[in-house]
Amino acid sequence: MATGAHNIACFPDIEKREPDILEYHSSELKDTTVLKNKTVAVIGPGASAMDVIDLCFENKSKKIHWLYRSNKWFIPTTKKKHTKTTIRQLAFGQMLGQTSEEINAAFQKILNSKYEHFGLNDILPTENFDIQKQQIL
């Protein structure tokens, strides 16, 4: 799941041990009920991977393996996807003329507290949040 970038599927040429394993790019997953009672491997740390993990929970997948090279920052929340994030803090900081470093420090503080609140410290990214390099998910 979620292999490739920008809706372009990329499946590595690896011989399968079990030929009945299905492979999907997240953009190709039309019937999410295929996830029900399945063991799912989600590859990648981006927004599509987060979407697929949410779908696995919604469809009661049996087990989820999340594979990634490095973590990306996201804003943990219990809200539904379409209301998950807000850019109010970013807009407010920009309106006040804050520098990128000031905005980064403010978001780092917010992100650290949310990861702590949700018990996600084991998947904290190794580098600090940088608004010029990373998206706010």
What is the residue extent of each domain of the chain? Answer: 1-69, 73-137
Q: What is the rounded CA–CA span in Å between residue 44 and residue 66? A: 8
Backbone torsions φ then ψ of 17, nearest 5 degrees: -80, -35
- For position 117, what pLDDT does the model report? 92
- What pLDDT is attached to residue 9? 67
pTM above 0.85, yes or no: no
How far is it, in rounded angstroms, from Cα 57 to Cα 34?
12
Q: Which of 76, 78, 53, 50 is nearest to 64 (CA)?
A: 53
Identify the pLDDT of residue 57: 92
Q: Which two tokens stand for residue 128?
A: 């600090």
Write down the pLDDT at residue 125: 87
Q: Which of 16, 23, 20 is nearest to 2 (CA)?
A: 23
Q: Residue 27 gets which letter from DSSP?
A: G
Q: Could you count the other beta carbons within 10 Å of the beta carbon of residue 118?
A: 11
pLDDT for 110: 86
What pLDDT is attached to residue 47?
A: 73
Residues of the chain with pLDDT under 50: none
Predicted pLDDT at 30: 87
> From CA 114, how far away is CA 108, in angstroms rounded?
10
